[in-house]
Amino acid sequence: MEKEFLKLFELFIAASVINNFVFTRFLGLCIFFGVSKKMETAIGMSITFTAVMVISAALSWIVFHYVMIPLEITFLKIIIFIGIVAAFVQASDTIMRKVSPGLYYKLGVYLALISTNCIIIAVPLINAGENYNFLESLSFGLGSGIGFALALTIMASIREKLELADVPRPFRGMPIAWITTALIALAFTGFSGLITL
Amino acid sequence: MEHQLPEEKVSYLQILKTAIFKENVIFRLVISLCPSIAVTNSVRNGFLLGIAVVFVQVMVNVTVAAIRKFIHPRIRIPIFMLIISGWVTIVDMIMAAYARAAYKEIGLYIQIIVAFASILARAEMFASKNKVLPSLFDGLGSSLGFLGALVTISFFRELLGKGTLLGHTIVNAKPLLIMVMPTGGFLVVGLLMGFFNWIDIRFYGGKGAGGAGGH
Amino acid sequence: MAVAKKEQELIVSVSPHIRSEESTSKIMWTVTLSLLPAFAMAVYYFGPRAIYVTALCVVGSLFSEWFVQRMAGKEIAVKDGSAFLTGVLLGLNMPSSVPFYIPLVASFVAVAITKQLFGGLGYNIFNPALMGRAFALITWPRAMTTWFTPTAAFMGMDATTTATPLGILKEEGVHKLLEVFGDKMTLYTKLLIGYRAGSLGETSVIALLIGAAFLLYKRYISWHIPVSFLATVGLLTWIFGGKEGLFTGDPIVHLLSGGLMLGAWFMATDYVTCPSVKKGQIVFGIGCGFLTALIRLKAGYPEGVMFAILLMNCFTPLIDRNLKSRVFGARKEAGK
Amino acid sequence: MSFKDIIKITLNLVILYTLAGILMAAVYSKTSPIIYRKNIEEKQKALQEMMPEADDIKKLGDWYPHEKHAEYFVARKCGEVKVKTVKDEVTGTTKEIKECVNPEVIGYIVQTFGKGYSSYINILFSVDTNFIIKKMNILHHAETPGLGDEITLDWFKKQFTGKDLEHLKVDKTGTKKEYIQAITGATISSRAVAEDGIANGLKFLMKALKGEVEHGASTARGEG
């Protein structure tokens, strides 16, 4: 029992910090660079993203193990996973608008962006590829979500500070954001070897 | 991009040129970025993923343009997604069968082509409003721009990081090992973007594209 | 580069506020001066190589500063001493044996990319010298971890390669460390005066403390970051550092070895890249200490000070942001 | 939304999904046998490389180093190879089938995992009947570029040849040449390969052959 719990914890830490999706697996970069300009949007995105991440990891695990494997249609996993994510995002969009317009006003805009994020499709694919069980899939999903949120928040705070900086003109905007990411990624290599997966 | 080009009058060359340079997916529009680092630690991988994207983009554009009158506007996006993921699945299976060595390294990123906004964007913005042939060229241009960017980035990373090009030894050393690691990837893209902006500002009097980001 | 000027206690905005060119350059040169004892010990132990490596770093830094400012059409401010100081710090962070191109490339990364591309002095997010060293460590992992036994090298001894105390501790355990150095007292003394393998300037704890005391006296640095940093490392390595269970670690070895003293007093306190409010500085110090202990005890690298400071540099804007208006007092006590 | 729209949408979806389904099923039926066959071929080739002189390599069973699935194999050499020509009755073509007479066990091949610096290193090694290492190869790893990844270099791999269990230990000093020489600055990866991976695999093999292992030893029927 303790061992299993440790494994879940290791998966979570590995997914969020050591193999952080943005800094070492280079996924979700589009949104990472897109919405990290302002702190407020970054936080809104982080919350929405983590929630969607965990739920879609769970949904796709269930579908993968109870529908796709018995029917032997695992070769259709790309189509089915993106379908699940898109359907879930669409559904929560509709439900949120009806049930909690306030929350929708705050987070709804990010929902639309999410279904084209690479991480959201990568996590179910990796879960399927690594043969994680249900809890492992969940903790991998949660770790990925938190890791992305962490990256986004750090980046947003740095970019707000950079607004004031006298960056050489060709490097303003995107280029300096990429170079910042490079340097953060370099700092994150300090975690390497922390957990072997 | 002009969304509603008068279909017959625009030359295909013009479409190609705009899509490759002016609206370069990675360096100018700054979208579909994930593979720009993930697969660019060797020229071969960058090239292969680029080719996969070219294939998917062209096929998607052609398919969308061919059936554009048939699709009900309300379910347009889900249908596009279906078309994209269908073609991606096909490329995925073909590469798993015939390009195995490369597939082992970049397999995950092939599958992730599904979530490339650039592909959906071209389908939505161009192919769904134009005839098959212009759509084909638009897809070709946009994805060739993408391929070019991938090859450019991987050229620097492989040369500096491994001292090789396409697996052939150029310098018998690993000059800057860091270039094949994540940090090096981000750094090369950042410096190249800055460099292109500098050229744009210096020689063409442009403003230097900030790149709105997005996905 | 370690400054907490009096005015800053009241100013809460993120970027530092430098009164004038003159005072910046005065601070820079004073800090450089405070590194003199450490540099002298480096020369004593590692011989002419110490001068050679540090000189290369300084030249590289000054050139990079001039080059980027020239390209960007800015005013050339090489004389303000900040690039010189970065060069010296970088040099003190290098092993004595590195080939000539490593200091040059590392100083280019430090000054041109980490500092000037971000807008120059006052705007950099990361500590330039540490970033240069991290870049070099990843790029040339072998050259950057080949250590020589310190000798009074001007006598012309041939040096032998060896592992750093932390490297031995990580791979073999504390018994091996005692085997190499003799008994515990000898170990502590040798760590204190600097007779051990390591980067040029990090070995002699005494020399570093003299410099730090000078800066404290001059009020160019405050105690908040170094003390919370060192205390956290000591506490955590004491609790978790031992193989036989909790509270069996040897905090003194951990405090005296590696780049901890150099990092805590001279690098973490860099006023551009650490939080500007006192509470933030304590959070920053605790964070550095926690990450250092984590990396040293659990992760792959034997030494974690550099990565810990760089990682906390990422969080500096966030800390500043959150501690500006309200107080995160919860973790304050642990730092005392 | 009018009734006509609903019909149109449904029709849209049904037709497109059917078309996509048919297309994909077609590609799948074409590629999946190839993928399957190539997987087997590649595995066989990797095993053959470990023991080029073997005529026949069969799986002996599974085992689980670090809770990861691995396999081990027995390699045989034929006393004599008979070639039979068989006519396929369905297609009418003739095939040559090799038949092994008096096979003799010449060694074993074991797949194993070593816990490295930042990854589990997937290793394949072969031993002769006296449990002396013949060859080893790294199948997969994610060790640090420039340091740990030198476990894939020839000089490192070659020094395993001729080592027995006693000498599968890593020497850092560079003086004890009868042991495995560590890669400078990558002692963890070197140890992971030599001690955690291969030495443990060899110990397991010895136990398994004596029948001392419970799980995994699902011996190939009647031949082990």
Q: How far is CA A156 from CA A32, A120, C315, in A?
A: 9, 21, 11
pLDDT digits (tens, 9 = 90+) for A107-137: 777 776 776 677 888 888 888 888 888 999 9
Residue B15 has pLDDT above 90, yes or no: no
Q: How far apart, in whole angstroms, are the C-alpha atoms of residue C255 and residue C272?
A: 25
- Name the burial class of residue D97, with classes exposed (0-12), middle (13-18) and buried (19+) by CB atoms within 10 angstroms of its CB: exposed
Residue C329 has pLDDT above 50, yes or no: no
Residue C128 has pLDDT above 90, yes or no: yes
The Cβ of residue C270 has, within 10 Å, a number of other Cβ atoms equal to: 26
Residue C109's pLDDT is 93
Give C202's DSSP letter: T
Q: How confident is the model at residue A75 (pLDDT cuts 50, 70, 90)?
A: confident
Q: How confident is the model at residue B10 (pLDDT cuts 50, 70, 90)?
A: low
Residue C158 has pLDDT above 50, yes or no: yes
Question: Tokens 């450019």 belong to which residue?
Answer: B152
Give me the number of domains chain C comprises: 2
Averaged over D92-115, what is the pLDDT? 82
Residue B142's pLDDT is 85
Residue C312's pLDDT is 94
Angle at alpha carbon of residue A129, lines to A127 and A134, rounded to 5°: 30
The answer as to whether C318 is a domain residue is yes
- Percent of the residues in chain D that have a pLDDT greater than 70, as a whole number: 93
The torsion angles phi and psi of C106, rounded to 5 degrees, stand at -60, -40
- Percent of the residues in chain B that have a pLDDT greater than 90, as a whole number: 6
Residue B4's pLDDT is 47
Q: How far is CA A21 from CA A146, A147, A190, C42, C80, in A?
A: 10, 7, 16, 41, 40
Return the SS3 of C11.
coil
Question: Per the CB < 8 Å rule, is C141 touching B183?
Answer: no
The answer as to whether D154 is a domain residue is yes
pLDDT digits (tens, 9 = 90+) for A132-166: 889 999 999 999 999 999 999 999 999 988 888 88
Q: How far apart, in whole angstroms, are the C-alpha atoms of residue B34 and residue A119?
A: 10
Give residue B171's Cα distance to chain centre.
29
Q: How far apart, in whole angstroms, are the C-alpha atoms of residue C62 and residue C54?
A: 12
Residue C55's pLDDT is 95
- Using a CB-CB cut-off of 8 Å, the residues of chain B touching A113 are 215
CB D134 within 8 A of CB D50: yes
pLDDT digits (tens, 9 = 90+) for C176-222: 888 878 788 888 888 888 888 888 888 889 999 999 999 999 888 88
Q: Look at residues C160, C153, C243, C147 and name the one whose alpha carbon lies nearest to residue C203.
A: C147
Angle at alpha carbon of residue C226, lines to C223 and C228, rounded to 5°: 90
Residue D112's pLDDT is 92
Instruction: Give yes or no for C298 touching D (CB within 8 A).
Output: no
Residue C188's pLDDT is 87
Residue A91 has pLDDT above 90, yes or no: no
Residue B5's pLDDT is 46
Question: Per the CB < 8 Å rule, is D118 touching A192?
Answer: yes
pLDDT digits (tens, 9 = 90+) for B128-146: 888 888 888 888 888 888 8
Instruction: Give yes or no for A131 touching D (CB within 8 A).
Output: no
Q: Look at residues A3, A8, A20 and name the one whose alpha carbon lies nearest to residue A140.
A: A8
CA distance A135 to chain B (A): 22
Give residue A34's Cα distance to chain centre.
14
Residue B214 has pLDDT above 50, yes or no: no
Same domain, D105 and D198: yes
The torsion angles phi and psi of D39, rounded to 5 degrees, stand at -55, -45
Q: Which chains touch B (3 or more CB pairs under 8 A)?
A: A, C, D
Q: How far apart, in whole angstroms, are the C-alpha atoms of residue B111 and residue B89?
A: 7
Strand duo D56-63 + D70-77: pairing: antiparallel
- Using a CB-CB cut-off of 8 Å, the residues of chain C touching D184 are 142
Letter string b/e over residues D19-38, b meaning 16 or more CB atoms within 10 A of that residue's CB: ebeeebeebbeebeeebeee
Q: How far apart, in whole angstroms, are the C-alpha atoms of residue B44 and residue B50?
A: 10
Question: Per the CB < 8 Å rule, is A196 touching D115?
Answer: yes
Letter string b/e over residues A148-168, b meaning 16 or more CB atoms within 10 A of that residue's CB: bbbbbbbbbbbbbbbeebebb
Residue B208's pLDDT is 53
Same domain, D102 and D177: yes
Residue D68's pLDDT is 84
Q: State the DSSP string of D175-206.
A: --TTSEEPPTT-HHHHHIIIIIIIIHHHHHHH
CB A97 within 8 A of CB A104: yes
The two structure tokens encoding residue A163 = 């607004």
Residue C261's pLDDT is 92
* List of residues 6+ apart from B30 with CB closer than 8 A: A33, A174, B193, B209, B211, B212, B213, B214
Residue B2's pLDDT is 40
Give residue A29's Cα distance to chain centre.
10
pLDDT digits (tens, 9 = 90+) for D163-220: 888 888 888 777 777 888 888 778 888 888 998 999 999 999 988 888 776 544 443 3
Closest CB from A160, A171, A193 relative to C299: A193
Residue D209's pLDDT is 86
- Using a CB-CB cut-off of 8 Å, the residues of chain D touching B89 are 24, 27
Residue C127's pLDDT is 94
Residue A148's pLDDT is 92
Q: Look at residues B197, C83, C106, C123 and name the one whose alpha carbon lies nearest to residue A180.
A: C123
Residue D84's pLDDT is 75
The answer as to whether D122 is a domain residue is yes
Find the length of chain A. Answer: 197
CB D168 within 8 A of CB D202: yes
Averaged over B182-190, what is the pLDDT? 89
Averaged over C108-123, what is the pLDDT? 90
Q: State the DSSP string of A98-121.
A: HH-HHHHHHHHHHHHHHTT-HHHH
Instruction: Give yes or no for B100 touching D (CB within 8 A).
Output: yes
Strands in D56-63's sheet, in edge-to-edge order, are D56-63, D70-77, D104-115, D120-128, D133-140
Q: How far apart, in whole angstroms, are the C-alpha atoms of residue B66 and residue C333?
A: 69
Q: Give the dihedral sign, CA A181/A187/A189/A193.
A: negative
Residue B212 has pLDDT above 50, yes or no: no
Q: How confident is the model at residue B202 (pLDDT cuts 50, 70, 90)?
A: confident
Best mutation site among C113, C117, C139, C309 for testing chain A: the one with the most A CBs within 10 Å? C117
Strand partners, D70: D63
pLDDT digits (tens, 9 = 90+) for B57-108: 999 999 989 888 877 777 777 788 888 888 988 888 888 888 888 888 788 7
Q: How far apart, in whole angstroms, are the C-alpha atoms of residue D64 and residue D213?
A: 11
Q: How far apart, in whole angstroms, are the C-alpha atoms of residue D171 and residue D161?
A: 16
Same domain, D55 and D147: yes
Return the SS3 of C128.
helix
Which residue, of D14, D35, D50, is where some domain finishes?
Answer: D50
Averaged over A50-63, what is the pLDDT? 91
Residue B6's pLDDT is 45
**Averaged pLDDT score across all residues of chain C:** 83
Closest CB from C141, C146, C171 relative to D146: C141
Residue B209's pLDDT is 52
Domain boundaries in chain B?
Answer: 11-154
A80 → chain B, closest CA residue:
B85
Strand duo D180-181 + D170-171: pairing: parallel
**Averaged pLDDT score across all residues of chain A:** 85
Q: How far apart, in whole angstroms, are the C-alpha atoms of residue C129 and residue C114?
A: 9
Q: How far apart, in whole angstroms, are the C-alpha atoms of residue A76 and residue A81?
A: 9
Residue C102 has pLDDT above 90, yes or no: yes
Question: Per the CB < 8 Å rule, is A187 touching C298?
Answer: no
Instruction: Give yes or no for C323 touching A (CB within 8 A).
Output: no
The two structure tokens encoding residue B56 = 């998917």
What range defines the domain where residue C70 resides?
24-144
Same domain, D158 and D198: yes
CB C49 within 8 A of CB C207: no
Which residue, of D19, D34, D50, is where some domain finishes?
Answer: D50
Residue D214's pLDDT is 55
Q: How confident is the model at residue B1 (pLDDT cuts 50, 70, 90)?
A: very low
Least confident of B15-24, B126-135, C55-64, C322-331: C322-331
Residue A145's pLDDT is 92
Question: Per the CB < 8 Å rule, is A76 touching D24?
Answer: yes
Contacts 24+ apart (CB under 8 A), C74-79: C74/C120, C77/C21, C77/C120, C77/C121, C79/C25
Residue A139's pLDDT is 93
- Name the burial class of residue B159, with classes exposed (0-12), middle (13-18) and buried (19+) by CB atoms within 10 angstroms of its CB: middle
Q: State the DSSP string of C131-183.
A: HHHHHHHHHSTTGGG-EE----GGG-PPP-EE--HHHHHHHT-HHHHHHHH-S
Residue A96 has pLDDT above 90, yes or no: no
If one compares C291 and B202, the residue with the highest pLDDT of the two is C291
Which residue, of C144, C175, C194, is where some domain finishes?
Answer: C144
Same domain, D104 and D41: no
Residue C56 has pLDDT above 90, yes or no: yes
Residue C54's pLDDT is 94
Give D154's DSSP letter: H
**For chain B, first and last CA: distance in Å?**
17
Residue A192 has pLDDT above 50, yes or no: yes
Residue C22's pLDDT is 53
Least confident of B20-24, B151-155, D29-33: B20-24
Residue C334's pLDDT is 37
The answer as to whether D45 is a domain residue is yes
The Cβ of residue B199 has, within 10 Å, a number of other Cβ atoms equal to: 13
Q: How far apart, in whole angstroms, are the C-alpha atoms of residue C131 and residue C122?
A: 16
Same domain, D133 and D99: yes
- Using a CB-CB cut-off of 8 Å, the residues of chain B touching C117 are 194
The answer as to whether C8 is a domain residue is no
The answer as to whether D76 is a domain residue is yes
Residue D50's pLDDT is 87
Count Cβ–Cβ pairs < 8 Å, chain A vs chain D: 20
A87 → chain B, closest CA residue:
B78
Closest CB from B83, B86, B96 relative to D31: B96
Instruction: Give yes or no for B90 touching A (CB within 8 A).
Output: no
Q: Give the HSE-up count for residue A110: Cα atoms under 13 Å, Cβ half-sphere.
A: 23
pTM: 0.86
CB B51 within 8 A of CB B79: no
Question: Per the CB < 8 Å rule, is C139 touching B183?
Answer: no
Instruction: Give yes or no for A72 touching C (CB within 8 A).
Output: no
What range defines the domain where residue D205 resides?
51-210
**Averaged pLDDT score across all residues of chain B:** 80
The Cβ of residue A19 has, within 10 Å, a number of other Cβ atoms equal to: 21
Q: How far apart, in whole angstroms, are the C-alpha atoms of residue B43 and residue B200?
A: 26
Averaged over B20-28, what is the pLDDT? 73
CB D118 within 8 A of CB A193: yes
Q: Look at residues C322, C307, C264, C323 and name the one whose alpha carbon lies nearest to residue C135.
A: C307
The two structure tokens encoding residue D193 = 């390969």
- Tally helices (H) and strands (E) across chain C: 15, 2
Give me the number of domains chain D comprises: 2
If one compares B8 and C196, the residue with the highest pLDDT of the two is C196
Averaged over C95-109, what is the pLDDT? 91
The two structure tokens encoding residue C276 = 């500007």
Q: How confident is the model at residue B7 (pLDDT cuts 50, 70, 90)?
A: very low
Same domain, D10 and D82: no
Enter the ipTM.
Answer: 0.84
The answer as to whether D217 is a domain residue is no
Q: How far apart, in whole angstroms, are the C-alpha atoms of residue A124 and residue A116?
A: 14
The two structure tokens encoding residue D142 = 């994610």
The answer as to whether C287 is a domain residue is yes
